Amino acid sequence: MRFYQSPFLFLTPLFILGVLFGELVSFSLEWIFLGCLIASTLTFILTKNARLSTPPFAATIVLLGSVVIQKVRFHENEISDGVHSRVAVVQEVDQGDKIWKKHILSIESEKGGKGWTTIDQEVVVYSQQRLREGDVILFRSELMPIENSGNPGDFDSKAFWRSKDITKMGFMGAEDYTLVDYRSPHWITSAFSATRNYLSNLISSSLPEEEASLARALILGDKSKLSGETRQSFGNAGAMHVLAISGLHVGIIMYLLFFLLERGHRWISRRLAVIITLLFLWVFAGVTGWSPSVLRATLMFSLLLLGQQWARSGSPMNTLFFSALVLLLINPLLLFNIGFQLSYAAILGIFLYFGRIKELVKVRNRILNKAWEGTALGISAQMFTIPIVLYHFHQFPNYFWLTNLGIMCLAGIILASGLVFFAFHYVPYLKIGLTIILGWSLFALLKFVDWVDSLPYGVAKGFELTPQEVVLFLVMMILLVSLYQQKRIRYASITVLIVMIGSWQWNRFQAIEDSEIVVFNSNSPVIACKHEGQVRAFYIGKKKKADRLIEAYEKVMPGAIRMDSLENGITSVKMGETFIEIAKDEDGIWIHHDKKSTYIRMRYRLPEDEADAIIDMPYLENRNGHYNLSKGAYRKKL
């Protein structure tokens, strides 16, 4: 493929490579970038057969990505750790019902030893009081670096917040802040917010709570009212993507609207239909709150639609890569966003593999053919998302193809009936009919996902991938389809993919068969004894928090779980041929196994007897020779 035919198939990967390189190096690359830019410009001017695909130009694009990410990461004045007086503006507020509400604050200034210092960074602060977006506060509470707990299978919160360029967090009580001002949002933002609240209230007053919470998530992008059971069912069934408005929703809306407008070709030209569709998509993005996933999907589909209308001979792949480059130029941190990765990986899989998979089976029946096309679409979308899902979530929904088939049918009905319901809710009898259709569609989706979740062997757990494995898998998949005619590359790609998948499965089976004792990093003791396919877990204090730790652990170390509260006295555990004795008193917990002893120190008092290992709870001081759980979970192989 020639460079000038699809330039962004080359430029975007080079820019991405530069972003990754810029994250690795600690020194500024600005002057090197300027040198390469001058060299590539001179090469282009002085060389008779100048080509933009020359090495100097490629190096310039790579360094451009590095410079852009370094500009985002660079802050002239960093936020200090500890307790300081700070002035901040509330940028984002979690609308959930949790006791501690999450707030994203933009720090504008901080008081230090030399007076007030201008700051331009964001932090995440949890407070029991819910502030408003736009509130300007003077607060004084401790900020600390965001660190991972170090527990097996736990979510990588440090990487998640770093992808938003947030590295500090804290907790803020009612006495820690003072409201000093309020900055009203732009009138357009206020209008969109008012519209969103009005539509949300309309849904709440028309549907039962369970269906209403799902409707708000699917149509308005508000997941705050979803129950934990619904989230877990959708996750196990491989349908979490439908709960966040993204490419699926925007694509369905674009297709439905453009389909209806094209039917009126006598009155509406194709160009006008494109313009109306684009305007509606961007209004929809505003009403749903301008979330990153909606903006990403809206821009991507807008460019694809424009590319098909005004450059029909152009490559959809080139347009896709161009949209990614535009987004990354605006915000290179999107590269580390899970939604960004999954969205583009799914579309890339559809572009590269959908046609090939669809042709594998010839179906004459029209209805069955549509069902097969939907299945092929789901499979092709998963071809590139599989390693990303395994890397971030450590589990894979085995019935994803079945889930996607149901979602493709029901999501379209829900979105279409929801939008028509909003448009005609003031018509009494029509509103009743639309409410019935919308309600039953949501009910059917909930029951369908619950059914898929209940199927045996629905979720395969125990996958732990490295970033290098994810990148290698994606490269092999691209090489396989793009250079399929070259036998050596085809066979080499297939061989590497088979070896990688076999390695993942082998490591997963090893994780299932492993035996170990784990003491989790938690302020209340949580202990797991794993032997092959069984996990016996013991906890002190709140079971809900222990459940979260064990559920995350089970994603990487699968097994049948049994939870028990640990009381004072001796508890004997028999797992296969292994015997474990756990003795608890007010000062600590003894764990005896294989003639070895481990002591978990819960108070400042040291054990009277000798122990092979002493583990200190995370709130205790660090002592030489002891393992403090603040470093992460303690794991001992049996």
pLDDT of residue 63: 94
By percentage, how much of the chain surpasses pLDDT 90? 44
**d(C-alpha 633, C-alpha 525), whole Å:** 11
Asked if residue 608 lies in contact with residue 620, where contact means CB atoms within 8 angstroms, the answer is no
* pLDDT interval class at 376 (50, 70, 90): confident
Task: Give per-residue pLDDT as tens, 173-203.
Answer: 999 999 999 998 888 888 888 898 899 999 9
- How many other C-beta atoms can be found within 10 angstroms of the C-beta atom of residue 154? 19
Asked if residue 591 lies in contact with residue 597, where contact means CB atoms within 8 angstroms, the answer is yes
pLDDT of residue 52: 57
Q: What is the mean pLDDT of residues 376-388?
A: 87
* pLDDT interval class at 339 (50, 70, 90): confident
Task: Give per-residue pLDDT as tens, 86-103.
Answer: 999 999 888 777 888 999
Is 308's pLDDT higher than 80? Answer: no
**d(C-alpha 578, C-alpha 636), whole Å:** 14
Is 247's pLDDT higher than 80? Answer: no
Is 536's pLDDT higher than 90? Answer: yes
pLDDT of residue 51: 60
* Biggest CA-to-CA distance, the chain: 91
72-75-81 Cα angle (round to 5): 125
pLDDT of residue 402: 84
Positive or negative, the Cα torsion across 510, 514, 519, 524?
Answer: positive
Asked if residue 125 lies in contact with residue 90, where contact means CB atoms within 8 angstroms, the answer is no
Is 351's pLDDT higher than 70? Answer: yes
Q: What is the mean pLDDT of residues 55-71?
A: 91
The mean pLDDT value of the chain amounts to 87
Is 304's pLDDT higher than 60? Answer: yes
pLDDT of residue 264: 67
Least confident of 95-109, 125-139, 230-244: 230-244
| Entry pTM | 0.87
User: Backbone phi, then psi, for 364, in 5-degree steps?
Assistant: -85, -35
**d(C-alpha 309, C-alpha 212), whole Å:** 37
pLDDT of residue 2: 59
Asked if residue 115 lies in contact with residue 162, where contact means CB atoms within 8 angstroms, the answer is no
Is 224's pLDDT higher than 80? Answer: no
| Residue 310: strand, helix, or coil | helix
Task: Give per-residue pLDDT as tens, 585-626.
Answer: 988 999 998 888 999 999 988 887 888 999 999 999 888 889
| Of residues 222 and 386, more confidently modeled | 386
Q: What is the mean pLDDT of residues 422-447?
A: 90
Asked if residue 599 lies in contact with residue 610, where contact means CB atoms within 8 angstroms, the answer is no
Is 1's pLDDT higher than 60? Answer: no
Asked if residue 378 lies in contact with residue 358, where contact means CB atoms within 8 angstroms, the answer is no
Pick the closest to residue 179 from 129, 143, 111, 125 (CA basis).
129
Least confident of 281-290, 299-308, 542-551: 299-308
pLDDT of residue 475: 92
What tokens appear for 395 in the block? 């589990």
| Of residues 294 and 110, more confidently modeled | 110
pLDDT of residue 301: 82
Task: Give per-residue pLDDT as tens, 461-483.
Answer: 999 999 999 999 999 999 998 88
* pLDDT interval class at 76 (50, 70, 90): confident
pLDDT of residue 510: 92
| Of residues 299 and 497, more confidently modeled | 497
Surface-to-core class of residue 556, CB atoms within 10 Å of its CB (0-12 exposed, 13-18 middle, 19+ buried): middle
Q: What is the mean pLDDT of residues 24-51?
A: 81
| Of residues 547 and 251, more confidently modeled | 547
**d(C-alpha 307, C-alpha 495), whole Å:** 37
Architecture per CATH, domain 82-184, reads as Beta Barrel (2.40)
pLDDT of residue 423: 87
Is 313's pLDDT higher than 60? Answer: no
At a CB cut-off of 8 Å and minimum separation 6, what does 120 contact? Answer: 75, 76, 77, 106, 107, 108
Least confident of 307-321, 337-351, 480-494, 579-593: 307-321
Is 49's pLDDT higher than 80? Answer: no
Is 3's pLDDT higher than 70? Answer: no
Q: What is the mean pLDDT of residues 111-138?
A: 92
